[in-house]
Structure 1
Amino acid sequence: MKPKSNRLRYLRQLLFILATLPLSAGSSFAANFVFAVDNYLMANNIEFLSQVRSLMATQGHTVQLQVMPVSQALQLIENGQLDGHALMHPYHAQQRALIQIPTPVQTLPIWAWVTKLDNCPKTAKAFRNKKPIIIKGASHSDMAIASTAKGYRQANDADQAILLLQQNKGDYIFATWDQMSLSSSGSPQELSACGSQPILNVPVFMFIHPRNQALTPILNQAAQNAQ
């Protein structure tokens, strides 16, 4: 008879192997899947997340969401500790061994907000030489940080972002209309959006760990249903 410590070690190894086995198509094995999510994107995609939970439930699966920074989420996904990211920009998935669900969940229009239209950057190079103000909690802000050589300022909310801009602590606010509408004034009326079009239209997709490839059809259906 094997010592108890050896039996426990073998049991742990078996559980680890079972946990990391890929799902096969049509598998009836019920599981709990844990996906990371961006707090801002979660609030704007309730219908999609509801579709994910509903369709996964038809297969006997449950879904949990964990709000966390995208950098932390990517590390946990690649280590196999999370099953994927529910809402993420392809920008963050570059050179990552993740499966992108084909249908975009949302296209996120991002604007440059200024106090005077004369301050609007006119070219991509001009943005490089401007300091953006970003709002905490939105992963798309990483794109503004990557596009500047002048550093950036981070605000806790839209009101603080407006205050920083008015105090000349940054050159423009990198944010969606929805983000700016959360200011206490109820709208970004104190500011002007540069141009008649967003500076970026960023698609948002769901990404999963390769072991969960068999989930692609059902998650793609969830994205289509939420359109």
Structure 2
Amino acid sequence: MLADDNNPQPNSNSKPTFLRRVFSVFIKAAVLLMLLFIFDKLLPSISQQTQSFVMAKWQQLSLLQQELPTENSLPSPLPAQHLTDTWGAARSQGRSHEGIDIFAKRGTPIQATTQGIVSKVGENTLGGRVVFIIGPGGAGHYYAHLEDYADISPNDWVNTGDIIGYVGDSGNAKGTPPHVHYGIYINGSAVNPYPLLQKPES
């Protein structure tokens, strides 16, 4: 057999080499199709989880760049109810009141005072059933003594006015008139929310 002009070696193995290449391509294509089939079944849930995680982080960064609440800038969590400044009032065990209490009928819907990311939906000893939301500037908004929660979970995004729970007397407020304890925390320290809340018209 004559040698190829561009290849000094005889061309005796060209046919087997071509078949091997075709077979190799076929195997790779089959493996790729199999992987695509597997990923097609798995990716929707993986993609959704990744998307939710990335979105939460993006929203968190966006919130941190926004301004902290200022005087009269926040709607009340119970817009129709009278507000009284109970900040700093004496509490048991030498504590002082780190928020304000807003009284309303049991089961009255509690509204988010700001947009933000839900950080906690759960219970603690003093607050009973509580919701904690991270709002603009990284300020924490704390709602306590809830009767029940709305349909929210940690990492959910809420908008101003969204219902987050319902007025109750859980935690150490058991037996007192139903109310929501509302607190604001900036850089980990409690601040008086009363001046920051819009007051209902009398």
User: Same fold judged by TM-score > 0.5?
Assistant: no
Larger CA Rg, structure 1 vs 2: 2
Shorter chain as denominator, the TM-score bin is: under 0.3
TM-score when scaled to structure 2?
0.27
Structure of higher RCO (CA pairs closer than 8 Å, 6+ residues apart): 1
Tell me the TM-score normalized by structure 1. 0.25
More strand by share: 2
